[in-house]
Amino acid sequence: MAKEGPNWDGLLKWSIAHSDGTGNPRNLSEEDRKWFMEAMQAQTIDVVKRMKEITLVMQTPENVLEEQGVTATDIEGMLDELQEHVESIDMANDLNSIGGLIPLLKYLRNSHAKIRAKAAEVVSTIVQNNPKSQQLVMDANGMEPLLYNFTSDDDVNVRTKALGAISSLIRHNKPGIAAFRLANGYAALKDALSSESVRFQRKALNMIEYLIQENPNDCHVITELGFPRIMTHLASSEDAEVREGALRGLYELTKGKPVKKSADNTNEEDDEKLKQVLKERINDISMMPSEDLPAIRDERHLVDLIWTAHYNEPSSLREKGLVVLPGEDVVQLPPDVASRVFASPLRGSSRPANDDDKSEKKDAPLLLGPGP
């Protein structure tokens, strides 16, 4: 059946008819107020009804769907629609009440990679900035399939989407963070940093920064696992976001902590490599056209901060006046990019399009009809 949306034309005509163009609010008659409230209530009812229909499809065995002519592409489109509905926190929490959360989590194990990836996106939207739904997903053991997909899926896009969902699930969620750490999550993040996928690397770096900020005592474990060496390598990446994310991670590991020397020469070799990378970044920044410098403001600050922390002296960027450009505010610490990434504005109709999803909007699939 075709998707029935709200009567936007009617609402628009009503809004225009009751606007005199002066910007002053106009008193509503009791009849108009009643009509408007009924229209809004009908829209809410329609969304819940539609979510129940989607839940029915998710609960239907895959072979039955195939017999009904429902394809994997149809399921993707359906999940895309569901994601729009659950951007509302109320609707996100209602999904469990109507029986839709468990079958959604089962889609994380679907045989089609695109469905596994899309299901993770929907889960990410449901739990983002939503403690109630975070708890519901944890209670439903939703972390387990997400961790499996993140660490073991053959499709790098599925792994990336699963990591995004885990990031939203553990945000301000101490039990979630504990579960991730106990599942050897840091080793999986290290593996992600070695991926050839830039998007995967970005998400992993943002999550590492957040985890260090939440658990400063983990710096020792992260260092022992060899993260500094990998992040030093990524600090010279051609991708600006990867480069900045790596520098942020290195800064979090070094700020306020003395740089310890190891008994062997491993630490000395790593330190020399870091100095070489920082010198290369300083040289590249120094040679950049002045009009390009504002775009890498955070990177300029980070390079100088890391150099100062390791070598107890300002970098040559400061001597050249390239840390703070004329007209820029003085920034003592780099902004918290992890909070911005982990708490992106997914709630509400103004949600920006996912930069990972370049596909066009799909129509809602046909739902199940009578059997043959």
Task: Give residue-wise pLDDT tens across range 160-219.
Answer: 999 999 999 999 999 999 999 999 999 999 999 999 999 999 999 999 999 999 999 999
Q: What is the length of the chain?
A: 372
Nearest-angstrom CA–CA distance, 303 and 319 = 13
| Closest CA relative to residue 124, chosen from 95, 106, 109, 146 | 146
For residue 199, what pLDDT is reported? 97
pLDDT tens per residue, the chain (372 residues)?
Answer: 444 444 445 544 545 555 555 555 556 677 766 666 666 655 555 888 899 999 999 999 988 888 888 999 999 999 999 999 999 999 999 999 999 999 999 999 999 999 999 999 999 999 999 999 999 999 999 999 999 999 999 999 999 999 999 999 999 999 999 999 999 999 999 999 999 999 999 999 999 999 999 999 999 999 999 999 999 999 999 999 999 999 999 999 987 455 555 445 557 888 899 999 999 999 999 999 999 999 999 999 999 999 999 899 999 999 999 998 887 776 555 455 444 444 444 454 334 344 454 444 444 444 544 444
| Closest CA relative to residue 234, chosen from 267, 271, 195 | 195
Beta strands per DSSP E along the chain: none
- Residue 215's φ and ψ, nearest 5 degrees, are -135, 75
Largest separation between any pair of C-alpha atoms in the chain: 83
Nearest-angstrom CA–CA distance, 121 and 129 = 14
Nearest-angstrom CA–CA distance, 32 and 330 = 54
The radius of gyration computed from the CA coordinates of the chain, to the nearest angstrom, equals 25
Nearest-angstrom CA–CA distance, 299 and 281 = 9
For residue 326, what pLDDT is reported? 85
- Catalogue all structural domains in the chain, each as residue range(s) with its CATH number: 45-183 (1.25.10.10)
Nearest-angstrom CA–CA distance, 252 and 336 = 11
For residue 4, what pLDDT is reported? 47
The DSSP line for 261-283 is: PPSSSHHHHHHHHHHHHHHHHHH
The burial class, CB within 10 Å (0-12 / 13-18 / 19+), for 295 is exposed
The pair of three-digit structure tokens given for residue 169, joined into one six-digit string: 């699930």
For residue 346, what pLDDT is reported? 45
For residue 362, what pLDDT is reported? 45
Helix ranges (DSSP H) in the chain: 8-17, 30-59, 62-67, 72-85, 89-97, 101-106, 113-127, 131-139, 143-152, 156-170, 174-182, 185-193, 198-214, 219-224, 227-234, 240-254, 266-286, 297-311, 316-319, 337-342
For residue 242, what pLDDT is reported? 97
What's the whole-model pTM score?
Answer: 0.78
The pair of three-digit structure tokens given for residue 241, joined into one six-digit string: 């976001």
| Closest CA relative to residue 126, chosen from 113, 144, 142 | 142
Given a contact cutoff of 8 angstroms between Cβ atoms, the answer to whether 206 and 335 are in contact is: no
